[in-house]
Structure 1
Amino acid sequence: MDPLIQAQGLTLRYGRKTALNDVSFTIPKGRVVGLLGHNGAGKTTLMKALVGLQQGEGQLSVLGLNPMKQRVQLLESLAYIPAVAILPRWAKVAELIELMTGLHPKFSPERA
């Protein structure tokens, strides 16, 4: 059985800061896990990598797919909702539509 998530030698950075350094783990299907850590530990960076929004080094697969190369196919089976899912009040509607277009490949600006 393929694992739900598998990482091998995963290194993720935001800016100059290394969030995760050479991390390897496997999460089997059906397992419930928690992702805990202090501010800046790399939790959000990892979540972004899992849905193809963050490039990293090493190997990463989610549902047997490479999040960076097969993002459209992956997002047919899952969605990512950030911890702070509040839209900025200063943003114009056109900017929010552009943001959503970049976040989810099936988002339709025409239907919005």
Structure 2
Amino acid sequence: MKKFKTTDAWISTGLILSFVIINIINKPSGLIDESILTGYFVVGGWQVVSMLVHAYKHWFTEKWSARYVYHWVTFISLVTMPGSFWVLAITAPFMALYYTVLCFLEIGKMNERPLNILK
């Protein structure tokens, strides 16, 4: 689990940073540009795969945990996407950043010494 979580967090960070750099270099002409859409789908696709692995393995998905709530918010967002595309287009980058931060927080929790966890 530790290896997957660490890899997951760094891949997510790398993808986000690479698409930010690509968009700075390309200087998109409009709100919806090809490189922006590619970034949305690549980063989002990776994070959905990661979410499915977490859900299947029951990692950090206890009821009402941050990841549990995030999974439900994402599921509802995907189901309602046809009617709320623009809302999702605006909130997706913030969700991606939150997911990445959540991964790093979970890595920190896993790396705590056992006695610190009991506090």
TM-score by length of 1: 0.27
**Structure with more relative contact order (C-alpha pairs < 8 Å, separation 6 or more):** 2
Which protein is richer in strand relative to its size? 1
Which protein is richer in helix relative to its size? 2
